[in-house]
A and B are shown apart, each in its own frame.
Chain A
Amino acid sequence: MSTIEASPEVGHDEHGHDHDHPPFLAHHFDTPEQQFDSGKLGIWLFLVTEVLFFSGMFCAYAIFRALRPEVFEGCSQFLNTKLGAINTGVLLFSSLTMAWAVRCSQLEQHKGLVGTLAATLSCAMIFLGVKAIEYSHKFGMGLLPAGLFFYDPSNPHPTEHPPYLAYICAPFAVALVGVLCWLVFSAVAGKKFQFAVAKPLSVVCLCFFVGVGLGMVLESGEESADHVDTHADPNGLATAPVMLEVEKAAAAEAAPAIAASGAQVSVDEGVLEILATDPTNVGVKSGLNALEQQTAAAGTSTVTGDGEILGAITTTEVDVMTPTTAGVFFSIYYCMTGIHAIHILAGIGVLVWLLVRAVRQDFNRQYFGPVDYVGLYWHLVDLIWIYLFPLLYLIR
Chain B
Amino acid sequence: MSAGSLPSGSQVKDPGYPTPSENYLTNSKGVLSWIFTLDHKRIGVMYLIGVTAAFAIAGLLALLIRLHLFQPDGMIFQGEEANNYYNQVFTLHGAIMVFLFIIPSVPAALGNFLVPVMLGAKDVAFPRLNLCSFYLWVFGALFFVSALCASGLDTGWTFYTPYSTTTDSSVILATSGAFILGFSSIFTGLNFIVTINTMRPPGMTWFRMPLFLWATYATSIIQVLATPVLGITLLLLIAERTMHIGIFDPEYNGDPVTFQHFFWFYSHPAVYIMILPAFGVISDLISVHSHKRIFGYRFIAYSSIAIALLGFLVWGHHMFTAGMSSLTTIIFSALTFTVSVPSAIKVFNWLATMYKGSISLTTPMCYALSFIFLFTIGGLTGLHLGTLATDMHLHDTYFVVAHFHYVMVGGTLVAFLGGVFHWWPKMFGKMYSEAGGRLSALLVFAGFNLTFLPQFILGSRGMPRRYATYDPEFAALHQMSTWGSMLLGFGLLVALIVLLRSLKSGKRAPANPWGGATLEWECTSPPPFYNFERAPAVGDPYDFSDLEWEADNERYVKVEPAREIVPETQPEKEPAHAEDSK
Interface residues, chain A, with chain B CB atoms under 8 Å away: 1-9, 12, 15-16, 26-29, 34, 37-38, 41-42, 45-46, 48-50, 52-57, 59-60, 63-64, 67-68, 71, 144-148, 280, 282-283, 323-325, 327-328, 331-332, 334-335, 339
The answer to whether B122 has its CB under 8 Å from any CB of chain A is: yes
| Partner of B233 from A56, A144, A324 at Cβ < 8 Å | A56
The answer to whether B554 has its CB under 8 Å from any CB of chain A is: no
A7 touching B14 by the CB < 8 A rule?
Answer: no
**A28-B121, A56-B262, A147-B245 known; A45+B190 contact, CB < 8 A:** yes
Distance between Cα atoms of A183 and B123 in the complex (Å)? 41
Contacts of B195 in A (CB 8 A): 38
Q: Mark B1-20, 1 if CB is under 8 A from A, else 0.
A: 00000100001111111110
A37 closest partner in B (C-beta): B198
| Partner of A4 from B14, B229, B231, B236 at Cβ < 8 Å | B14
**A12-B533, A28-B122 known; A145+B245 contact, CB < 8 A:** yes
| Partner of B227 from A4, A34, A49, A55 at Cβ < 8 Å | A49
Contacts of A38 in B (CB 8 A): 125-126, 194-195, 197-199
Within the complex, the shortest CB–CB distance from B264 to chain A, in Å, comes to 13
B127 closest partner in A (C-beta): A28
Within the complex, the shortest CB–CB distance from B346 to chain A, in Å, comes to 26
B246 touching A8 by the CB < 8 A rule?
Answer: no
B239 closest partner in A (C-beta): A335
The answer to whether B249 has its CB under 8 Å from any CB of chain A is: yes
Distance between Cα atoms of A67 and B127 in the complex (Å)? 47
B12 touching A2 by the CB < 8 A rule?
Answer: yes
A50 touching B228 by the CB < 8 A rule?
Answer: yes
Contacts of B553 in A (CB 8 A): 2
| Partner of B253 from A1, A42, A325 at Cβ < 8 Å | A325
The answer to whether B468 has its CB under 8 Å from any CB of chain A is: no
**A145-B243, A280-B250, A328-B253 known; A45+B224 contact, CB < 8 A:** yes
A325 closest partner in B (C-beta): B253
B227 touching A42 by the CB < 8 A rule?
Answer: no
A2 touching B252 by the CB < 8 A rule?
Answer: no
Contacts of A328 in B (CB 8 A): 245-247, 252-254
The answer to whether B545 has its CB under 8 Å from any CB of chain A is: no
B262 touching A59 by the CB < 8 A rule?
Answer: yes
B197 touching A41 by the CB < 8 A rule?
Answer: yes
How many A-B pairs have beta carbons closer than 8 Å: the answer is: 177
* Residues B192-210 near A (CB distance < 8 A): 193-195, 197-199
The answer to whether B552 has its CB under 8 Å from any CB of chain A is: yes
The answer to whether B524 has its CB under 8 Å from any CB of chain A is: yes
Contacts of B123 in A (CB 8 A): 28
The answer to whether B225 has its CB under 8 Å from any CB of chain A is: yes
A327 touching B228 by the CB < 8 A rule?
Answer: no
The answer to whether B574 has its CB under 8 Å from any CB of chain A is: no
**A6-B16, A59-B262, A145-B245 known; A323+B252 contact, CB < 8 A:** yes
A53 touching B229 by the CB < 8 A rule?
Answer: yes
A9 touching B19 by the CB < 8 A rule?
Answer: yes
| Partner of B190 from A16, A37, A42, A60 at Cβ < 8 Å | A42
Distance between Cα atoms of A374 and B228 in the complex (Å)? 20
A8 touching B524 by the CB < 8 A rule?
Answer: yes
Distance between Cα atoms of A334 and B122 in the complex (Å)? 45
Other A-B pairs beyond A6-B16, A28-B122, A28-B123, 18, CB < 8 Å: A2-B14, A4-B12, A5-B13, A12-B533, A26-B127, A27-B122, A38-B125, A45-B224, A49-B227, A49-B228, A145-B245, A146-B245, A147-B243, A282-B251, A282-B253, A327-B244, A331-B243, A331-B245
A63 touching B19 by the CB < 8 A rule?
Answer: no
Distance between Cα atoms of A4 and B13 in the complex (Å)? 6
| Partner of A280 from B231, B251, B557 at Cβ < 8 Å | B251
Contacts of B186 in A (CB 8 A): 49
Can you list 8 A-B contacts (CB < 8 A)?
Answer: A5-B13, A28-B121, A38-B199, A48-B224, A48-B225, A49-B227, A147-B252, A331-B243
Central interface residue in B121, B125, B195, B224, by most chain A CB within 10 Å: B125
| Partner of A331 from B6, B194, B247 at Cβ < 8 Å | B247
Contacts of B236 in A (CB 8 A): 56-57, 60, 335
Contacts of B12 in A (CB 8 A): 1-5
Distance between Cα atoms of A331 and B229 in the complex (Å)? 18
**A282-B251, A324-B252, A331-B246 known; A2+B6 contact, CB < 8 A:** yes
Within the complex, the shortest CB–CB distance from B509 to chain A, in Å, comes to 14
Contacts of B17 in A (CB 8 A): 8
A146 touching B22 by the CB < 8 A rule?
Answer: no
Contacts of A3 in B (CB 8 A): 11-12
The answer to whether B530 has its CB under 8 Å from any CB of chain A is: yes
B9 closest partner in A (C-beta): A1
Central interface residue in A29, A54, A67, by most chain B CB within 10 Å: A29
A51 closest partner in B (C-beta): B228
Contacts of A59 in B (CB 8 A): 262
**A48-B224, A50-B228 known; A146+B244 contact, CB < 8 A:** yes
B14 touching A332 by the CB < 8 A rule?
Answer: no
Within the complex, the shortest CB–CB distance from A27 to chain B, in Å, comes to 7
Distance between Cα atoms of A34 and B119 in the complex (Å)? 15
A68 touching B253 by the CB < 8 A rule?
Answer: yes
B224 touching A49 by the CB < 8 A rule?
Answer: yes
Contacts of A46 in B (CB 8 A): 190
Contacts of B552 in A (CB 8 A): 1-2
Distance between Cα atoms of A6 and B550 in the complex (Å)? 17
Distance between Cα atoms of A144 and B242 in the complex (Å)? 13
A64 touching B14 by the CB < 8 A rule?
Answer: no
Distance between Cα atoms of A339 and B238 in the complex (Å)? 13
**A6-B16, A49-B190, A328-B254 known; A335+B530 contact, CB < 8 A:** no
